Homo-oligomer: A and B are copies of this chain.
Amino acid sequence: YSRDKYEGNEYAGVVTGLAWTAVGGEILFVESSLSKSKGEKLTLTGNLGDVMKESAIIAMQYIKAHAEMLNISDDVFDKWNVHIHVPEGAIPKDGPSAGITMVTSIASSFTQRKVRPNLAMTGEITLRGRVLPVGGIKEKILAAKRANIKDIILSEENKKDIDEIKENYIKGLTFHYVRNIKEVLDFALLNEKVEHPIQL
């Protein structure tokens, strides 16, 4: 799929992740969107397996439990449903490595802050906010480069995987190693809001 290119940062809630499949690495987009509601509901689409759905549930809980850190008023969760989608619908997706991408997507939607341009990320999250290492790093990095990514966020524990890749392959990429979700969000979310932000 040669069409998988970085697609800019004009939308709140759209974050670029990295996936590792049978046919190599590729980028994927995590999209989130809010709609007004009475009961708090989390909708997940994109042909997601159970582990990936759990990542979204953990991401949502992390944001709820750390709303203050992001200046999100916590009555907002009662008033808005969250829908997370990972295109493309025909392709089954699974695994925990989209965790940090999902948490960043939700944080962007609830703050309407822009995501840093040309940034991609991969890493599992835990409920307390740890970022765990994931597999397929080499393939993912090559895909990121092809897709015009400049900055990549990874778990500190994946540094050793980058150190094993030939210098040449990673030229032009900057790696940002993190220990916890706060570091991810501090780097990934700009202070600038998207154009025409919704009023929460």
Chain A residues in contact with chain B, CB under 8 A? Answer: 3, 7, 11, 13-14, 29, 31-38, 40, 43, 45-47, 50-51, 54-55, 57-58, 61-62, 64-65, 74, 77-78, 83-85, 87-90, 95-96, 99, 124, 126-128, 130, 132-133, 157, 198
Contacts and interface: CB of A to CB of B under 8 A. Distances in A.
Contacts of A31: 126-128
B88 A132 contact: yes
Nearest to A133: B3
A35 B96 contact: no
Given A43-B57, A47-B54, A87 B14 contact: no
Contacts of A133: 3
27 contacts: A3-B133, A3-B157, A7-B130, A11-B128, A14-B128, A29-B126, A31-B128, A32-B127, A33-B62, A33-B65, A33-B127, A35-B64, A36-B64, A43-B57, A45-B57, A47-B51, A51-B89, A58-B85, A83-B127, A87-B124, A87-B126, A87-B130, A88-B124, A88-B132, A89-B99, A89-B124, A90-B124
Contact of A90 (B3, B47, B95): B95
Q: Is the interface of A mostly helix, strand, loop or mixed?
A: mixed
Nearest to A135: B90
A126 B96 contact: no
Q: Which 5 A-B pairs have CB atoms at the shortest separation, nearest pair first?
A: A89-B96, A85-B127, A31-B127, A35-B64, A45-B54
B57 A132 contact: no
Contacts of A38: 78
